[in-house]
Amino acid sequence: MLDTEPDLSAFSQIDFTNGAVAAVSGGSDSTALLLLLKAHLDRSAPTARLLAVTIDHGLRPDSATEARAVATLCAGRGIAHRTIGWSGAKPSTGLPAAAREARYRLLAEVAQSQGIGLIVAGHTADDQAETVLMRAARNDGHEPAEMPGRGLAGMAPATLYDWRIWIARPLLGVRRAALRAFLRREHVGWVEDPTNTDAHFERPRIRAMLGEDKEGQSFAEAIGMARRVASEREQLGRRAASLVGEFASQPAKGLIRLDPGFAKAEDGLAAVYALRVLLAATGGVSFLPDHARSEALFQQMRAAPLCATLSRTVVDIRRAGIFLHREWRDLPSAAPVTATTLWDGRRRITQDVKAEAITLDDSSGALLIAPLGKAAAANRPIAENDAPASLVRAAQAAEPALWRGGECPDFAGDQTAAAAITVSPVVAPFARFLPCFDLDLAGSVARLIGAPPAPALPSSRHSGG
């Protein structure tokens, strides 16, 4: 069984040098997190900045009052606080997921505006058990017995959001009851969110089920599963990263080559996992392709040459190697570049607002971003490498390019565009959320495709255990 008293040991493993944004809703978990974090910083890092942020989703009549209560608590404890509202229309379906996405986006925006690279969240051991049981209920059995669903690892102790801001969860080893006992001793109240008991949502139903298990067996099994799967997932990721480093190269932008030896790798489980991540990264999709289909493709790689498509990625298997590139179908249409655009899930295109202004709209002579296209790719020179020219051109055709009046000026040849726009590859399946379980594999793929490295972990703790 986990600790029954709040444990501050996880806080000591986190680097707070650049401060922290504490996500505080006013509930018991986040309120306890704030007070425990403040006490830890007062003792061990008194100069570290602490900013409490409350996201008012505007979904309940009392949300503004609850945010003001958090502000009052912070004022009394000498903690800087901000309330940020979630504005705009709310979806009629998938509201919890949309609220979660908005919450992290707004927290990251505040942190970045303050020059803080760390968000601290109050997820507890109870949240972890609920998450694992929810994901286990959705498990469709598509993963092999030796590699259960990746989601059964639960929430990671640290997760990189948007490839720029780390989210740390130092209370994953603490029970909610212990946090509430701590708050009572401190004579601090908290908000009871009615949606936490609303059986219309999945999490409250799981929470109620755990509450009925007086022996705590379901809780213990869920936590045990999370620890075991997290360790297995991290180990598998390291093995897959090693295969990427050994067998994968990028002979041209947008084209990945796997040495034929990849298909003969003895560690087939790690090879299939690496293949799934490479397919998603090449195709620009957030979710890994189905394990069974990926394994079948891997077996075909061992058998004979072929050309197949999976996860928007063309897989062309030849004697010269196994080549992956984005298929031509469903590429983005021509559009202006905004300050930052995630193009096709594969490229982050950024306009430097400090550079000389350029017009990016659909008027005559203006610049637009669109795929290079097959015709333009056919006219581009190709450097000598170990990839067939036809595949290099196919990969180039699916890359983003600037267009002006039907002409395609190269980034390197258009000094105005080059001064104002940068294009960076993105590791698609980890671009939004990168759990620390997958850091080694994500880093290996980032190096392969030339993506910027992920910020260093704010903690020495790499696994879920």
Whole-model pTM: value is 0.89
Look up tokens 């258009």; give the residue. 414
Query: What are the CA-CA distances from residue 111 to residues 116, 131, 300, 331, 460 (Å)?
Result: 5, 26, 47, 33, 21
Ramachandran sector of residue 330 (left: φ over 0; alpha: ψ -120 to 50; beta: rest): left
Structure tokens at 299: 């077996």
Query: How would DSSP label each residue in 52-87?
Result: EEEEE---STTHHHHHHHHHHHHHHHT-EEEEEE--
**pLDDT band with cut points at 50, 70 and 90 for residue 411:** very low
Q: Which residues pair with 313 in a beta bridge?
A: 310, 326
pLDDT at 199 over 70: no
Burial 198-236 (b: 16+ CB within 10 A, else e): eeeeebbbbbeebeeeeeeeebeebbebbbebbbbbbeb
CA dihedral of residues 26, 29, 30, 31 (deg, nearest 10) = 60
Query: What are the CA-CA distances from residue 389 to residues 78, 126, 371, 393 (Å)?
Result: 64, 55, 18, 6
Q: In this structure, which topology does domain 11-230 adopt according to CATH? A: Rossmann fold (3.40.50)
Dist CA 68 CA 343 (whole Å): 39
Of the CA atoms within 13 Å of residue 86, those in its CB half-sphere come to 24
pLDDT of residue 462: 44
**What's the chain's average pLDDT?**
87
pLDDT tens figures, 318-338: 988 999 999 999 999 998 877
Grouping H, G, I as helix, E, B as strand and the rest as coil, residue 451 is coil
Q: What is the mean pLDDT of residues 12-38?
A: 95
Starting at the edge strand that comes first in sequence, how are the strands of the sheet with 340-343 ordered? Answer: 340-343, 347-351, 421-425
Q: Which residue has the higher pLDDT, 310 or 211?
A: 310
Among 84-88, 94-98, 363-367, the range of highest mean pLDDT: 84-88
Dist CA 402 CA 408 (whole Å): 6
Among 244, 216, 153, 225, which Cα is nearest to 1's? 216
pLDDT of residue 338: 75
Dist CA 423 CA 169 (whole Å): 32
pLDDT tens figures, 204-240: 788 777 777 777 888 899 999 999 999 999 999 999 9
C-beta neighbour count of 100 within 10 angstroms: 12
pLDDT of residue 354: 57
**Range name among 16-20, 193-197, 371-375, 393-397 with the lowest pLDDT average:** 193-197
Look up tokens 């050309």; give the residue. 307
pLDDT at 112 over 70: yes
Among 219, 163, 174, which Cα is nearest to 426's? 163
Query: What are the CA-CA distances from residue 338 to residues 335, 350, 403, 420, 431 (Å)?
Result: 9, 7, 15, 11, 19
Among 198, 201, 219, which Cα is nearest to 210's? 219
Look up tokens 């189905």; give the residue. 290
Query: How would DSSP label each residue in 189-230?
Result: -----GGGG-TTSHHHHHHHHHHH-TT-HHHHHHHHHHHHHH
Query: What are the CA-CA distances from residue 418 to residues 313, 410, 413, 423, 441 (Å)?
Result: 28, 9, 8, 10, 31
**Range name among 108-122, 127-141, 216-230 with the lowest pLDDT average:** 127-141
pLDDT of residue 295: 95
As to burial, measured by CB atoms within 10 angstroms (0-12 exposed, 13-18 middle, 19+ buried), residue 1 is: exposed
**pLDDT band with cut points at 50, 70 and 90 for residue 54:** very high
Structure tokens at 121: 């969240």
Find the length of the chain.
465
Query: How would DSSP label each residue in 236-270?
Result: HHHHHHHHHHHHEEEEETTEEEE-GGGGG-S-HHH
pLDDT of residue 302: 84
Q: Taking the domains of the chain in order of start, what are their residue ranges?
A: 11-230, 340-425
Structure tokens at 344: 């096709």
The answer to whether 164 touches 453, Cβ cutoff 8 Å, is no
